[in-house]
Chain A
Amino acid sequence: MDPINITIDGRQVTTTKGKTLIEAAAEIGIAIPHYCYHPKLSIAGNCRMCLVEIEKMPKLQIACNTQAMEGMSVFTQSPKVLAIRKAVMEFLLVNHPLDCPICDQAGECWLQDYYMTHDQQASRFEERKEHDRKREVFGPNVVFDGERCIKCTRCVRFLQEVTHTDELAVVNRSDHSTIALFPGAILDNPLSANVVDICPVGALTDRDFRFKVRVWYLQKTPSICPGCSTGCNISVETYQNRIARFKPRINEAVNSHWLCDEGRYCFHDLTGGERLTTPMIRHEGGLVPTTWDKALQAVLSGLRSAAPSAAVLSGRNTNEEAFLFAKLMKKMTSDRVLEVFYQERELTEVQKILMSPDRSPNFRGAREMGVSSNGGFDSLMQKLKQGNFSGAYVVGEDLISIDRDPDEVGQALKKLSFLVVQDIRMTETAQLAHVVLPSTHFGEKEGTYTNRKGRVQKLNAATITPEGALQDWEIFVRLLDASGELVSHSTPSEVFDALAKEIPGYQGLSYATIGAQGIQLGGEGQS
């Protein structure tokens, strides 16, 4: 990488050969406005928003496609550049319907933003606007508004270059150019909704999210996708304590700019339905509400008397929860099998771009915390069906609904002398329990997941736990306390710092230094 020196707006910049001006400027904090340029897609050069002035060049040049050359002097704020930005904005808005009040992109629209920063003048266009297709359904997750489209072709290039599925193309000429599905195609590949994220305007919107919330009301919490063990970095966006959408957060070590559709929409299944808000205990054949103290006492005595026992932890439980759960089970019973829920499915080539074959985001981490008896989850279920267990503690998974033979699992669970289920909803499994403990889902949790490749990443609570339910880690701490094992942790961060002292591979990590991009086990961030 040869270093070269250029000047941008009078500032000396050392960059590397091969960098484009848009990249070199970004390195020193100068944002050159652009629509069609996307760091993960090929250069299209069509929007012309990034035109800059270069000394000794008669014409303005597009910063996205011009490589920095030794001695080059670039101007991003010269009168010519400021004028062409206004001109390009005016062109882009010539046939735009200016329907911001009813457009779902409003508030995060690059036309709006650049209008405020680079244009701020009335259009001189007084003619009839050209019309195009409105709300055309491109696929299960994406809807198209041709009139708002600026033909930047980001969506087309994403489908050509990232998914290689080629559903979309530009058709027609002149200002009748538009984006269209190939005849017979549907935009339904496993990464389809990314085109909504990269669409800088309101042309492609999310069918699941649109018209639910104005984006400026959204609260954004950085977190990790609970869909699978890839551990895509996301922003959990909430409104009035409900998750409204997931958006990908950029992390080049994990998901780059992308998020799969399955992950993007998984929060509906993981958080929906009626929540449990009070512990319950089996009394005269039925489940009746009880207090937390009584419920926890019942768990302790139940587990102690039921050996051998099975302990199943959800793959969506955090490292901190897994650490405490393993400790608890080892303390409670000497004859137990602990496993993290794990099931695999076949992935297609497009799915493999991002997705892992499981649905257990913290499968690796939970096992490393000690929730593993080396037989694996399938073997545990086998033993359960064969009646090898007397008791079971099931956290966050509905064992009946996830099994290929629900009846067999149900029969096996009924035969247990003691079953405790800790979950957010009254699942089929919970209905068979002797004690039911109301807990929390991923969106309400703080903690860490370790992804498939050994990257430790932080979850942050995006919504508030309903009154009456407890955080999983807190339930485990209370049970440990009640069992006589005094643990003084009062936050997930304290649990993490404790586990970092005990768990091989996690030594030297501290919760405070994990950061927004996570830390690779055995990598540089581990002291």
Chain B
Amino acid sequence: MEKVLLRNVDVPDSHTLAVYRSRGGYRAWEEVVKNIRPEQLIEEVKASGLRGRGGAGFPTGMKWSFVPKDSPKPKYLVCNADESEPGTFKDRLLIEKDPHAIIEGTLMAAYAIQSHTAFIYIRGELAFGAKRLDQAVNEAIETGYIGKNIMGSGYDLDVIVHKGAGAYICGEETALLSSLEGGRGWPKVKPPFPATHGLFGCPTVVNNVETLAVLPWIIGHGAAAYAAMGTEKSKGTKLFSVSGHISKPGVYEVEMGYPFVKLLEEDCGGVANGRKLKGVIPGGGSMPVLRPEEIEKVNLDYESVQAAGSLLGSGGVIVMDDTTCMVRAALNLARFFAHESCGQCSPCREGCHWMEKIFHRIEHGEGQRGDLELILDVSGNIMGNTICPFGDAAAMPAAAFIKKYREEFEAHIEEKRCTVGME
């Protein structure tokens, strides 16, 4: 398969403008800004079938088309580089190794919605990546790809790299906007949606790094070439960051619809140290865990993973072998969500830590009968009832670990200790 997103990352000095241009970089942008009308660009991206790679998989072209054309307010394009989903490190690779692809995609998306100010909101901890992006933006400004009257087109665009302060919730698009506005990183109550009332109350599109980085390729090769890859509903390629008990952890690019087992067994060399697979989270820490038998026929596309009872999410694949205590794994994730809940709405604020406390008791030999039903009930009360998807993100994995490894949780409660790996 031809590399699309990872086409540049292995080239020495791939982060520099010189190398990026030598590999065809910014030609697509020049073509777009000089010869393509915004609505044509939107149609082209719609035709490519590209869906948002931040986790929700919403069609990108359609998202752009929701921005009102006749609004008197300024419009904003925001690149979401706040990658913080547990087990996800695909954007980081692009940020550090191919920042110009992200910038070129950001320019195109901004042009599509006729925004004249674009922001790249990068996670605070990615200090090196932020430096790379800053350097790349400066190079692009010096070369005239960003600025006033870009390449004589009459189109103006400014790009600002903004570093977050390290809260997971700021990856949620409206919390990101609150943070970018200088406020507390709290998700906004919807409706209204960002397309009409986003940053500073103005029409705004927030796109993920991976979504934007693929745009130069789509325009360079044509929507049809992109749509020719993948499945009927999940087009193109996708990055997967594979971690945990796996022989060759790393970022992999595969066509949508690639067999999950093939990725793990062939590309990644199987479970580390020849051990047996116990479970795998396919789409980042907030997605339900799957048992080995559940992934046998799963392909890596939105529909297939969903049919198996989980979600493709961010493509953060976390592999757990048979030495893993699933109670501890559940506790680990519950602790993360209890810590990261923004505290705005009642179910998530109170429920996440409550679940963590119960998991903690079970893991530490103080579990009681009824605890599992209680967690399932609490997670059910959070699920779907919160301001933003964080509630679901905390509830889904908690419920999935219990449902799929119930015998292990019950053993912890009965034996009052961990019995994993003790034959």
Q: Tell yes or no: A283 within 8 A of B by CB.
A: no
Residue pair B346, A47 in contact (C-beta under 8 Å): yes
Residue pair A48, B343 in contact (C-beta under 8 Å): no
Q: Tell yes or no: A253 within 8 A of B by CB.
A: no
Closest to B185 in A: A173
Query: Cα distance A177–B343 when bound, in Å?
Result: 6
Within 8 Å CB of B150, what residues of A?
A: none
Contact of B342 among A44, A45, A173 (CB under 8 A): A173
Contact of B385 among A87, A95, A124, A175 (CB under 8 A): A87
Q: B306-359: which residues lie under 8 A (CB-CB) from chain A? A: 338-347, 349-354, 357-358
Q: How far apart are A80's CB and chain B's nearest CB, in angstroms?
A: 10
Residue pair B184, A46 in contact (C-beta under 8 Å): no
Within 8 Å CB of B351, what residues of A?
A: 91, 94
Q: B356-388: which residues lie under 8 A (CB-CB) from chain A? A: 357-358, 361, 374, 377, 381, 384-387
Residue pair B346, A173 in contact (C-beta under 8 Å): no
Q: Tell yes or no: A494 within 8 A of B by CB.
A: no
Within 8 Å CB of B176, what residues of A?
A: none
Query: Cα distance A15–B350 when bound, in Å?
Result: 36
Within 8 Å CB of B358, what residues of A?
A: 127
Query: Cα distance A125–B357 when bound, in Å?
Result: 10
Within 8 Å CB of B420, what residues of A?
A: none
Residue pair A127, B357 in contact (C-beta under 8 Å): yes
Closest to A62 in B: B189
Within 8 Å CB of A175, what residues of B?
A: 338, 341, 343, 349-350, 352-353
The count of chain B contact residues (Cβ–Cβ below 8 Å) is 30
User: Contacts A84-B381, A92-B346, A124-B374 known; A45 to B354 CB distance under 8 Å?
Assistant: no
Closest to A89 in B: B346
Q: How far apart are B49's CB and chain A's nearest CB, in angstroms?
A: 25
Q: Tell yes or no: A169 within 8 A of B by CB.
A: yes
The contact string, 1 if C-beta is below 8 Å from chain B, for chain A 107-130, is 000000000000000001101101
Within 8 Å CB of A150, what residues of B?
A: 346
Query: Cα distance A65–B192 when bound, in Å?
Result: 10
Closest to B168 in A: A173
Q: How far apart are A35's CB and chain B's nearest CB, in angstroms?
A: 8
Q: How many A-B residue pairs have CB under 8 A?
A: 94
Q: Tell yes or no: A170 within 8 A of B by CB.
A: yes
Q: A371-412: which residues lie under 8 A (CB-CB) from chain B? A: none
Q: B189-238: which residues lie under 8 A (CB-CB) from chain A? A: 189, 191
Query: Cα distance A47–B385 when bound, in Å?
Result: 10
Q: How far apart are B161's CB and chain A's nearest CB, in angstroms?
A: 25
Residue pair B381, A177 in contact (C-beta under 8 Å): no
Q: Tell yes or no: B167 within 8 A of A by CB.
A: yes
Within 8 Å CB of A151, what residues of B?
A: 343-344, 346, 349
Q: B369-409: which residues lie under 8 A (CB-CB) from chain A? A: 374, 377, 381, 384-387
Residue pair A87, B381 in contact (C-beta under 8 Å): yes
Residue pair A60, B384 in contact (C-beta under 8 Å): yes
Q: How far apart are A515's CB and chain B's nearest CB, in angstroms?
A: 37
Closest to B186 in A: A170
Closest to A58 in B: B384
Query: Cα distance A124–B184 when bound, in Å?
Result: 32
Residue pair A48, B339 in contact (C-beta under 8 Å): no
Query: Cα distance A151–B340 when bound, in Å?
Result: 17
The count of chain A contact residues (Cβ–Cβ below 8 Å) is 36
Q: A397-442: which residues lie under 8 A (CB-CB) from chain B? A: none
Most chain A CB inside 10 Å of its own CB: which residue of B338, B340, B385: B385
Residue pair A46, B339 in contact (C-beta under 8 Å): no
Residue pair A174, B189 in contact (C-beta under 8 Å): no
Residue pair A128, B346 in contact (C-beta under 8 Å): no
Residue pair A45, B189 in contact (C-beta under 8 Å): yes
Within 8 Å CB of A60, what residues of B?
A: 384-385
Query: Cα distance A59–B385 when bound, in Å?
Result: 8
Within 8 Å CB of A51, what residues of B?
A: 385
Within 8 Å CB of A177, what residues of B?
A: 342-344, 349
Within 8 Å CB of A84, what residues of B?
A: 381, 385
Query: Cα distance A147–B358 when bound, in Å?
Result: 21
Q: A18-60: which residues lie under 8 A (CB-CB) from chain B? A: 43-49, 51, 58-60
Residue pair A170, B343 in contact (C-beta under 8 Å): yes
Contact of A130 among B339, B353, B361 (CB under 8 A): B353
Q: How far apart are B162's CB and chain A's nearest CB, in angstroms?
A: 20
Q: B13-53: which residues lie under 8 A (CB-CB) from chain A? A: none
Within 8 Å CB of B357, what residues of A?
A: 127-128
Closest to B374 in A: A124
Query: Cα distance A62–B387 when bound, in Å?
Result: 9
Closest to A173 in B: B343
Within 8 Å CB of A91, what residues of B?
A: 346-347, 349-351, 354, 381
Q: How far apart are A478's CB and chain B's nearest CB, in angstroms?
A: 62
Residue pair B384, A44 in contact (C-beta under 8 Å): no
Query: Cα distance A60–B354 when bound, in Å?
Result: 22
Query: Cα distance A124–B371 when bound, in Å?
Result: 10
Within 8 Å CB of A65, what residues of B?
A: 189, 191
User: Contacts A65-B191, A84-B381, A175-B353 known; A46 to B346 CB distance under 8 Å?
Assistant: yes
Residue pair B385, A48 in contact (C-beta under 8 Å): yes
Within 8 Å CB of A169, what residues of B?
A: 184
Q: How far apart are A387's CB and chain B's nearest CB, in angstroms?
A: 65
Q: How far apart are B358's CB and chain A's nearest CB, in angstroms?
A: 7
Within 8 Å CB of B340, what residues of A?
A: 173-174
Q: How far apart are A395's CB and chain B's nearest CB, in angstroms?
A: 55
Q: How far apart are B394's CB and chain A's nearest CB, in angstroms?
A: 10
Within 8 Å CB of B349, what residues of A?
A: 91, 151, 174-175, 177
Query: Cα distance A150–B384 when bound, in Å?
Result: 20
Q: How far apart are A504's CB and chain B's nearest CB, in angstroms?
A: 51
6 A-B pairs whose Cβ atoms sit less than 8 Å apart in the complex? A46-B346, A58-B384, A59-B384, A65-B191, A91-B349, A174-B342
Besides A170-B184, A170-B343, 11 other CB < 8 A contacts? A59-B385, A84-B385, A87-B385, A88-B347, A91-B347, A91-B350, A92-B350, A128-B357, A177-B342, A177-B343, A177-B349
Closest 6 CB pairs of A and B: A177-B343, A45-B189, A87-B381, A127-B357, A91-B350, A94-B350
